[in-house]
Amino acid sequence: MNARAASNDGTELTQFSCGVCPAYQVNMCQAAAAAAWSAGRPAPLQLQQSTYSVPPRKIICREQDLYDAVPVICSGWAASIVMLPDGRRQILSFLLPGDLVSSALLFEPVKSCMVEAITVVSYRTYRRAELKALLFAKPDLMDRLASTWVAEKARCDQLIVDLGRRTAEERIARLVFNLMDRLTQRGMMKPGDTTVEFPLRQHHIADAVGLTSVHVSKVITDFRRRGLMAIDDRELRLLNVDDLRRVAFSRH
């Protein structure tokens, strides 16, 4: 499904059809594409046709890259990360197919964060100005934007509560449920499923929930020992959903 044109730094130019994207009704991306088509103009978004593909661990963009470009993940998992000069890092959010890096990016460039690929990632970049114009031309697009924004803010607030007031166990369990929700939204997982592909390394989890990867290892080992969940071979297995949910939501 992808036609590739390799370059020297691991980044490839690829063709990627939106019909394949699992985030069909979830986010801005599809709506933008649809609106662009229906607008009938020959090529309102010229960047739309070419997407890039990068290998795991590669940086997709740094903050300065976001001056004009608005990247959207087409396939794979990525993370938007804030790095402190002394090496500490915090993951603001994991990016799944269909996700904008941040909906704030539609309006303003700067953000002191970068985006890093976790799996092989293909992504597409729009030009802010074009996307913005399209946005104002199509009011239903604005609705779509509003709802992804509200969802983004809600997750943001949740994370603040988690980091500020919850224990390591709670944070990790909640992260897992959060990700599963988002995966099922996208059809990358069925509601009853007990296993999913799960490409996160423990250090990703650590950076997302504000812990050390050492401590994440201990908690996850403990989860496995207690028969709650296990992560092996890039696969998450739920062993006892109810008890795990109790860990995640007991104190609400």
- Give residues 99-118 in contact with a copy of itself (rule: CB under 8 A): 102, 104, 106-108, 111, 113
Can you tell me whether residue 56 is helix, strand or coil? coil
Q: Which one of the spans 1-9, 66-74, 141-149, 237-245 is the region binding a copy of itself (CB under 8 A)?
A: 141-149
Q: Compute the radius of gyration of the chain from its Cα atoms.
A: 19
Q: Which one of the spans 77-85, 97-105, 174-182, 197-205 is the region binding DNA (CB under 7 A)?
A: 197-205
Distance CA 114, CA 235 (A): 26
Distance CA 77, CA 118 (A): 5
For residue 121, state whether it binds a copy of itself (rule: CB under 8 A): no
- Give residues 18-57 in contact with DNA (rule: CB under 7 A): 57
For residue 148, CA distances in Å to 7, 11, 89, 223, 248 come to 34, 28, 25, 32, 24
Token output for 133: 């114009």
- In the bound state with a copy of itself, the residue whose beta carbon lies nearer, of 238 and 248, is 248
Q: Identify any residues that bridge with 47 across adjacent strands, giving them in sequence order.
A: none
- In the bound state with a copy of itself, the residue whose beta carbon lies nearer, of 127 and 224, is 127
Residue type, 23: A
- In the bound state with DNA, the residue whose beta carbon lies nearer, of 201 and 245, is 201
**Which positions touch a copy of itself (CB under 8 A)?**
82, 84-86, 88-90, 92, 102, 104, 106-108, 111, 113, 136, 139, 142, 146-147, 149-150, 152-154, 156-157, 159-161, 163-165, 209-210, 251-252
